[in-house]
Chains A and B, each alone.
Chain A
Amino acid sequence: MWEFTSPKKIVFGEEALEYLKEIEGKKALVITGKTVRKLGFAEKVSKYLEEARIQAEIFDEVEPEPSIETIVEGAKLARDYNPDWLIGLGGGSNMDAAKAIWALYERPDIEVGAISPVEKLGLRKKAHLICIPTTSGSGSEATWATIITDSSSKTKLELASKELVPDIVILDPQLPKSMPPRLTADTGMDALVHSMEAYVNQWRNDFSDAMAIKAIKIIFEYLPRAYENPDDIEAREKMHIAATMSGLAFGNAQAGIAHSMGHALGATFKIPHGRTVGMLLPYVIKYSAKEAAGRYAEIARAIGIEAVTDEECVEELAQAVRALMKKVDLPLCAKDMGLDWETFTGELDELVSRAIVSSESITNPRVPDEEECKKLFTCAFNGEEVDF
């Protein structure tokens, strides 16, 4: 038995945010960060809620990579305010925070670390969750995961519960329009890696496949347009939808080693997540293709690559990803991210040990051992071909 978990409703398209005027309730807590607040989105959400006669309070203390302390503070505010809607507004961090605050609001008897796929949380007794992404990449609005940082141990808690999947997702293309080109590129590559890794993953299924392959096609077509012209509303809408579809894909399959290696690399050298996973993707395709050439060939053919053999498709797919990254001005290897060899090799053992124990490594179509992982990192640093 397996299952496909998704939000109950996804509202999308221009003026989708106005859907908030239609919801029923008394009080809403909007959970966001300072940057999103400055853009005026939280006030816009509040205004629509007022039209629905829902009183809104804004909690804008969510920082990038939200900490346990922020979650506890947000949950305390929620318990004092007693909302029947929680609204996660922003990028992945804000939406992850909203999920965790919601869990602790409903379950004051548990700690953040107790959120787990095998524990019944019993949510939705006090409130329901709406997620409104303002970037097009994390997919958090469609997944049952939340990543919270334990500041005391400097570790990231990868928490998950199927109950955390939002009730409603609102995809309004006006919101990601505010993203600068660099963020558009980084988040767009994150979405591409989510869908590609889901499509080849050991946990893939027919439902996740459908989401993944469509998302991949959209991203190859529309990411360059959204990058080149931030006001291209059609491209923004398509990328926003593709990011959520990618979330549905990897949320119901898994991500793979571009993510486990990317998390380690990004956290160590403070590089944006989408940039690291995107840079790693062509190397990972070549490595994983030893076990999944047919799956990569299906992706290649879906985006119009006309090579004959699966092996040729794999090669051309890796090149197509590189070509896409060049179009959106992203680095193709780690040394082009400003890292020097000495610093990189000084951290290499730690990078490898963090990457290979991740659950995302275990479900990759080909599971690397330490030596292979080290070689992959080295190839990705120098921009060398993966031939093992």
Chain B
Amino acid sequence: MSEENLLFFSEEWVKRFVEELNKNQSYFEAAKNWEGDFLFIVNTGPKIKSEIVVYLDLWHGKCRDYKLLPDRSAKKTEFIFEGPYDSWEKLAKGQLDPVKALLMRKFKLSGSMSKLMKNVKAASEMAKNCSRVPTKFL
């Protein structure tokens, strides 16, 4: 029986994404020295009426905590990674890599780029983790 696809960035999708991330050995190896929390934000646009804000507490190769938040002011984090829905979709489909996406200004980063650049493999493995979640897009 085929698994039901989860709507990208829905609560169920985020829950599954985190479950998969915490089982993902490649991510664990790449991010084993990482300490830092994120807001992942899907900006408003034609497909998104109000911002989607996801909090992820990433610590030594695992996600310790996550939440869908009502808005970006609900939590102060070390990093904010934000972009439009189409860019997130391309990232999830493996059509964009996270660092190149930043350089292409498809996404905006708040926080230390140099810290992120020392952990590009972790960022890449996290993006790849999306492929482990059966996903449907808007």
Contacts and interface: CB of A to CB of B under 8 A. Distances in A.
Contacts of B99: 359, 362
Given A357-B30, A362-B99, A117 B121 contact: no
A359 B117 contact: yes
Nearest to B33: A357
A117 to B, nearest CB: 6
A2 B104 CA distance: 6
A369 interface: yes
Nearest to B123: A362
B49 to A, nearest CB: 26
A113 B111 CA distance: 12
B124 interface: yes
A157 B115 CA distance: 10
Given A2-B104, A357-B30, A118 B120 contact: no
A113 B26 CA distance: 28
Contacts of A361: 121
A202 B103 CA distance: 14
A357 B113 contact: no
A115 B114 CA distance: 8
Contacts of A1: 104-105
Of residues B29, B102, B112, B117, which shows the largest number of chain A Cβ atoms within 10 Å of its Cβ? B117
Contacts of A344: none
Contacts of B29: 370
A159 interface: yes
Interface in B94-118: 97, 99-100, 102-105, 108-109, 112-114, 117-118
Nearest to B98: A362
A189 B122 CA distance: 31
Contacts of A357: 30, 118-122
Contacts of B119: 357
A362 B120 contact: yes
Contact of B121 (A115, A159, A203, A356): A356
Contacts of A116: 112-114, 117
Contacts of A203: 100
A3 to B, nearest CB: 9
Of residues A113, A117, A118, which shows the largest number of chain B Cβ atoms within 10 Å of its Cβ? A118
Nearest to A357: B121
Interface in A114-159: 114-119, 157-159
Given A157-B114, A159-B114, A117 B103 contact: yes
Interface residues of B, number: 22
Interface in B50-100: 97, 99-100
Contact of B97 (A117, A158, A358, A362): A362
Given A157-B114, A362-B120, A369-B26, A117 B102 contact: yes
B117 A158 contact: yes
Contact-residue bracket for chain A = 20 to 34
Interface string A328-368: 00000000000000000000000000001111011100000
Nearest to B113: A116
A203 B30 CA distance: 21
A366 to B, nearest CB: 14
Contacts of A118: 102-103, 108-109, 113
B1 to A, nearest CB: 32
A2 to B, nearest CB: 6
B122 to A, nearest CB: 8
A217 B99 CA distance: 31
Contacts of A369: 26
Contacts of A158: 117
B103 to A, nearest CB: 6
A114 B29 CA distance: 27
Contacts of B113: 116-119
Interface string A364-387: 000001100000000000000000
Given A1-B105, A118-B102, A369-B26, A362 B124 contact: yes
Nearest to B30: A357
A114 B112 CA distance: 8
A362 B114 contact: no
Given A116-B114, A117-B113, A359-B120, 6 more contacts: A118-B103, A119-B113, A157-B114, A357-B119, A358-B120, A370-B29
19 contacts: A1-B105, A114-B114, A115-B114, A116-B112, A116-B114, A116-B117, A117-B102, A117-B113, A118-B102, A158-B117, A203-B100, A357-B118, A357-B119, A358-B121, A359-B99, A359-B120, A362-B124, A363-B100, A369-B26
Q: Shortest 10 CB-CB distances between A and B: which pairs?
A: A116-B113, A359-B120, A357-B121, A113-B114, A118-B113, A362-B124, A362-B120, A118-B109, A1-B104, A117-B103
